[in-house]
Amino acid sequence: MNTKWMTMGKLLVLVSLAVLTAAQGQAVGRGQRAKTAAPRNTSGEALQPLPAVEPSDYVIGPEDVLDVAVWKEPDFSRAIPVRPDGKISLPLLGDIPAAGQTPSQLAAAITVMLRKYVTQPQVTVIVTATNSRRVFVLGEVSRPGPVPLLPNMTVLQALSSAGGLSQFANQKRIYVLRSENGRQVTYPFNYKAAVQGKAIALNISLKPGDTIVVP
């Protein structure tokens, strides 16, 4: 009798161990899946990682604000806006063309100029405010005024950023004003045709300083 109960006890212990091991394995599997699962949106679709943006490709423009830092040289380090003529001013160096250059190009130019006054200057230029990258939306929109210009932004996207058209807007007579070679050029835009896919070519990519007029 004692041998029988001992055998049954051993069997119960083995069964309990097997159940506990299986439960632990399932918990580990769930933990690993939770760690490796891709993030998803509210619709359950996996989100793709955003592409990296290379800040050194940015081209400086008028009214941008720059942080010019010269290592161990506080007299030459300062936050400074780019003037409407596209230049900045630094002590001893005077006016320096900034518009049309990338931050790394401007840093290299300042480095060369500083070698007259500083031994082995190390210069860093950071754009802290991109005021030159904007377009303007005027007329019958919900929020007229300047709109930050995103990469490859189109007319439809700019109008959307301005809150869309008002009920009084003339959808067929919208146009874009652009300065080219010192003169104003007009690009017509038919909103109704564009949203219907009938005039995709009119939905041009915008450039800094463009003005969208919605009569």
At residue 1, does pLDDT exceed 70?
Answer: no
pLDDT tens digits, 49-72 = 333 334 568 899 999 999 999 999
- Tell me the domain boundaries of the chain: 55-129, 134-214
pLDDT at 206 (0 to 100): 96
pLDDT at 56 (0 to 100): 61
Give the count of beta carbons closer than 10 Å to the beta carbon of residue 81.
Answer: 15
What is the model's pTM? 0.59
Pairing of strands 211-214, 134-139: parallel
| Beta-strand runs (E) in 119-190 | 123-129, 134-139, 145-148, 174-180, 183-189
pLDDT tens digits, 5-49 = 444 545 444 444 444 444 444 444 444 443 334 434 333 434 333
pLDDT at 24 (0 to 100): 47
Q: How many helices (H) and strands (E) does the chain have?
A: 4, 10
Q: Which amino acid is at 196?
A: Q
At residue 182, does pLDDT exceed 50?
Answer: yes
pLDDT tens digits, 166-175 = 999 999 999 9
pLDDT at 198 (0 to 100): 84
At residue 79, does pLDDT exceed 90?
Answer: yes
* Domain 55-129 matches domain 134-214 at the CATH topology level: no
At residue 142, does pLDDT exceed 50?
Answer: yes
Fold of 134-214: Outer membrane lipoprotein wza fold like (3.10.560)
Q: Quick one: which of 136, 207, 140, 202 has its CA closest to 171?
A: 140
Q: How confident is the model at residue 151 (pLDDT cuts 50, 70, 90)?
A: confident
Chain mean pLDDT for the chain: 81
Correct CATH for 55-129 of 3.30.1950.10, 1.10.1380.10, 1.10.10.10, 3.30.9.90: 3.30.1950.10
Q: Quick one: which of 109, 87, 108 has its CA closest to 96?
A: 87
